[in-house]
């Protein structure tokens, strides 16, 4: 699979923050509101990395904006799915649901890795 270098800017934080924050939330036995707050902070942090990944690319403005927004949304979705999978798997013992959420998060990362900004002058 050929992943654009800039996509790693969104993939890395999504995976690492989801794993670490999910593990913290599961092992500390946080309440529902605390888990929600921790997840919202992580998702917002990962969503910011999408637009940051297209800064300085030589492409049309709307192409960069579209890819940046999609990378941010897919990164946040991947974070949320893996984060919830960690909580379900490690804290609540729902192994099948946790694994299903991990697979869904992996699919979101796969789709995120497919996004590319077209070079200037490329055919539509």
Whether residue 121 lies inside any domain: the answer is: no
Q: What are the backbone angles phi and psi of residue 90, rounded to the nearest 5°?
A: -85, -35
Measured CA to CA, the distance from residue 121 to residue 124 in angstroms comes to 9
Residue 23: strand, helix, or coil:
helix
Instruction: Please provide the average confidence, as pLDDT, over all residues in the chain.
Output: 89
pTM of the model: 0.89
Measured CA to CA, the distance from residue 90 to residue 120 in angstroms comes to 47
CA torsion sign for 87, 101, 36, 78 is: positive
Summarize the confidence of residues 70-83 as an average pLDDT: 95
The secondary structure of residue 55, as a DSSP letter, is T
Q: Look at 82 and 64; give whichever has higher pLDDT.
A: 82
Whether residue 123 lies inside any domain: the answer is: no
Whether residue 78 lies inside any domain: the answer is: yes
Domains identified in the chain, total number: 1
Whether residue 15 lies inside any domain: the answer is: yes
């Amino acid at each position: 699979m050929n992943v654009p270098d800039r996509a790693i800017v969104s993939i890395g934080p999504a995976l690492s923050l989801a794993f670490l924050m999910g593990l913290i939330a599961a092992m500390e036995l946080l309440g529902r509101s605390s888990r929600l707050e921790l997840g919202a902070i992580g998702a917002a942090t990962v969503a910011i990395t999408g637009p940051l990944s297209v800064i300085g690319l030589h492409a049309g403005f709307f192409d960069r904006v579209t890819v940046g927004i999609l990378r941010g949304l897919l990164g946040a979705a991947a974070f949320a799915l893996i984060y919830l999978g960690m909580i379900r798997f490690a804290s609540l013992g729902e192994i099948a649901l946790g694994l299903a959420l991990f697979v869904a998060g992996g699919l979101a990362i796969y789709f995120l890795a497919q996004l590319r900004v077209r070079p200037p002058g490329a055919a539509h």
